[in-house]
Chains A and B, each alone.
Chain A
């Protein structure tokens, strides 16, 4: 699971109002190199919730992302490379995602988050 995926996941247990962003408890993290696609990065950047992305990257040991960002930074090759790496190359393979409100854990197994709820949570 890439951090791009993490950025769109929220806990939707009935009654939960602050189910985003999910915390990360990482058991196994993998890095898989992929070709950089600046078009995709520029397209996704304005839609990304940066603070959540930065915090998620931090919990996987990536500390080089700036706190404040704006679209001009996408012209900077070094920033683009860091952004690309954290967003698309680092994969949470095993672990759990944790609801910030309830502490409910959503397992991540073989790189796939499981967002299914139990009957009493729907």
Chain B
């Protein structure tokens, strides 16, 4: 259940020098390979005020890649990333689903610079999406009500003073207020209204956010959950959580990471086990 998956890209990270025959070839414009399943880090636009792809971004993309077969099976119509930052995640999601050509991608960020950067990153990969500056889903909430099949959120999760939240600039990308939960908790309030009946919500959290409690809050709203990826660095322990409406299918493959909720009763055990495991993690970190 708490699988730590590392998805290895089929693409080489950089062109081996021996293959670079001439300067001209070296200068060839970088074009995304048609086989690519995540955004090319060399094509991700940068801006001083915008969070660059980092461990949490990579963990989220790896979680989506690990769940890619299930997402394809879900046949999503609308995918939304809230807090798109550099655009690395939404571009990766669009690339990994590029063989399904009728999906609509939407990306929002509270930072104007971030949305501009996302726009450049998408353009560099020859991808199209609806991008807008918004506070979470302000301005589109009524239109996307009950319509989002895949919702992705890498929130500002770093614990800070509450008044540091949303002050603008790059701080918007990480300042999460008390326990890093201020923006996360606002998002949890919106999920139920925008997610489609079959929809999935992927959320990045760190231990300080108390992911076990987040799962319990969502549980009360009728959502089941599991950890897709768990990763520890010296700085923080990251989890990518996945939520879906209780009673709907979460995975097309019952053999792999089967749904936590099943009619057999195995469900509640696993659910308890998940909450227990998360609370253990929380207490472990706070010792």
Contacts and interface: CB of A to CB of B under 8 A. Distances in A.
A47 B143 CA distance: 10
Interface in A60-88: 88
Contacts of A88: 128
Interface string B121-160: 0000000101111110011111110010000000000000
A5 B132 contact: yes
Nearest to A97: B139
A29 interface: no
Contact of A115 (B101, B128, B140): B140
Interface residues of A, number: 30
10 contacts: A5-B130, A7-B143, A9-B143, A39-B102, A40-B102, A43-B102, A44-B102, A47-B147, A109-B112, A113-B139
B198 interface: no
Contacts of A106: 139
A81 B116 CA distance: 29
B132 A114 contact: yes
Chain B, interface SS category: loop
A42 to B, nearest CB: 8
A8 B145 CA distance: 11
Interface of B: 77, 101-102, 104, 106, 110, 112, 115-116, 119, 128, 130-135, 138-144, 147
B142 A43 contact: no
Contacts of B135: 115-117
A114 B133 contact: yes
A111 B130 CA distance: 10
Contact of B119 (A37, A44, A112): A112
B97 to A, nearest CB: 13
Contacts of B116: 110, 112
Given A111-B119, A112-B116, A8 B130 contact: yes
A11 interface: yes
B156 to A, nearest CB: 16
Nearest to B129: A5
Looking at A5, A8, A10, A11, the one whose CB has the most chain B CB atoms below 10 A away is A8
Contacts of A9: 132, 139-140, 143
A1 B130 CA distance: 7
Interface string A81-122: 000000010000000000000000010011111111100000
Contact of B104 (A1, A10, A11, A44): A44
Given A9-B143, A112-B119, A4 B138 contact: no
B119 A114 contact: no
A29 B69 CA distance: 39
A50 interface: no
B101 A110 contact: no
Question: When A and B form their complex, which 8 residue pairs have the shortest distance between CB atoms, in order from nearest?
Answer: A115-B139, A8-B143, A43-B102, A5-B130, A114-B133, A115-B134, A39-B102, A40-B102
Contacts of B130: 2, 4-5, 8
Contacts of B102: 37, 39-40, 42-44
B119 A20 contact: no
A115 B143 contact: no
B82 to A, nearest CB: 13
Contacts of B134: 115-116
Given A9-B132, A44-B104, A112 B77 contact: no
Nearest to A6: B130
Contacts of A12: 138-139, 141-142
B112 A114 contact: yes
Nearest to B78: A47
Nearest to A4: B130
Contacts of A117: 135, 138
A11 B128 contact: no
A118 B144 CA distance: 22
Contacts of B141: 12
